[in-house]
Amino acid sequence: MPRVSRMVVTDSGQKAAYHVISRTALDGLPFKKTEKDELVRIIQRFSAVYAVDVLGFAIMGNHFHLLVEVSPGAMVSDDEVRRRFELLYGEEAEFPEGRLGDFRERFSSLSAYMKDIKQAFSHFYNKRKKRKGTLWGERFKSVIVQQGNTLINCLAYIDLNAVRAGIVKRPEDYRWCSIGYHVQTGNKDGFLSLGLGLSDFGVHNLATRFKKYREFLYHVGAIEKRGRARISKKVLDEETAEGFELNRQRRFRYRTRYFSDSGILGSRAFVESTYETFKDRFQTTRDKIPKAVKGIEGMYSLKRLSEG
């Protein structure tokens, strides 16, 4: 039976939003902490290369969700195509001017974006597990999402995955989802779009937008769903009392994962000198750069070594 053509918005004048889901072909929950961290890193890498804005994501034990806005090729300038080519292939690669149109089309393609993400992760996973063969199940699913109310509900659905699965009590406690990434890293490297599905509602202040999204998320998450966990009334009441603001104590608690998840932690000078001592232990060809721990002045971290 031939494949049904994927529905792709072809309007050259505006971005199109898609909810994308892809599942592994393996049994059980094969994606643990290291695999989830790496998949986030790979998504970040290719999201910088492709003309996409990531609004939301959730990496679960056997599948992942993405909510992305894809820019049509007409919105990508020639210089942008060349810049994205360099991000993908490196500064030494010579851009093939005769294929400018081909690369513009590629960098605006949802299918090409997902193919690169899934292939890169398959390579990582199979090498790590010393295995061969298929990692992913059937081709990824994609749903065209209308802007506005539909978009914010879709984003909330994605961010509530870990709550509904009974993994966490609060959505931002799960670091492998967009709300967790926003809260726990302060949206490090500007990875995620700050629209939060609210830009169409005239909410322009980012702090207000984030607070309103959390309020919406908690109220939706408290709704009972048959056979699924939900945000408890106690937790909802606590958040309501706080006005859906993250107080200083809770912000610090979210930052404390650096104390257990970093490879090296301390001042920038300490991290850099210690990294030089153990440089050969890090499985990467590029030098690692210390990252500031947001919320703790003067503290830097370097990502931990790969788990065994």
Percent of the chain topping pLDDT 90: 57
* Number of domains the chain is built from: 2
Helical pair 149-159 and 178-185, crossing angle rounded to 10 deg: 80
239 C-beta neighbours (distance < 10 Å), count:
20
Other CB atoms closer than 10 Å to residue 2's CB: what's the count?
4
Same domain, 112 and 202: yes
Q: Is residue 164 part of a domain?
A: yes
Answer yes or no: is 180 within a domain.
yes
User: What average pLDDT does this structure show over 70-94?
Assistant: 95
**Within 50-200, where are the H helices?**
78-89, 100-107, 110-129, 149-159, 161-164, 178-185
Q: Which two tokens stand for residue 268?
A: 């920038």
Do both 218 and 283 map to the same domain?
no
Clarify whether residues 296 and 266 are in a common domain. yes
Mean pLDDT of the 138-143 span: 88
pLDDT score at 1: 43
- Answer yes or no: is 21 within a domain: yes
Residue 195, domain member (yes or no): yes
What single letter denotes the amino acid at residue 263? G
Q: Is 92 inside a domain boundary?
A: no
Q: Is the pLDDT of residue 7 over 70?
A: no
Please give the average per-residue pLDDT across 73-97, as a whole number.
Answer: 95
Pair (133, 270) in one structural domain: no
pLDDT exceeds cutoff 60 at 131: yes
> At residue 8, does pLDDT exceed 60?
yes
- Answer yes or no: is 5 within a domain: no
Same domain, yes or no, for 33 and 134? yes
pTM recorded for the entire structure: 0.81
Do 234 and 117 lie in one domain? The reply is yes
* Tens digit of each residue's pLDDT (9 = 90 or more) over 221-244: 999 888 899 999 999 999 999 899
pLDDT band at 54 (very low <50, low <70, confident <90, very high): very high
Give the model confidence (pLDDT) of 15-41 as tens digits: 889 999 999 999 999 999 999 999 999
**Residue 58, domain member (yes or no):** yes
Residue 68 falls inside a structural domain: yes
Give the pLDDT band of residue 268 (cuts 50, 70, 90).
confident
Among the three residues 253, 273, 295, which one is the final residue of a domain in this structure?
Answer: 253
Confidence grade of residue 4 (pLDDT, cut at 50, 70, 90): low
**274 and 167 in one domain?**
no
pLDDT band for position 64 (50/70/90)?
very high
**Domain match, 249 and 274 both:** no
Q: Domain containing 282: what range?
A: 262-303
Output the pLDDT for position 271. 81
Nearest residue to 52 via CA among 103, 102, 98, 113: 113
Is 268 or 217 the better-scoring residue by pLDDT?
217
CA–CA separation, 69 and 280 (whole Å): 39
Lowest mean pLDDT among 48-57, 102-111, 263-272, 297-306: 297-306
Element (H, E) at 42: helix 33-49
Do 246 and 132 fall into the same domain?
yes
Give the model's confidence band at 257: pLDDT under 50 very low, under 70 low, under 90 confident, else very high: low
Q: Are residues 187 and 232 in the same domain?
A: yes
246 and 298 housed in the same domain: no
- Residues 230 and 282 reside in one and the same domain: no
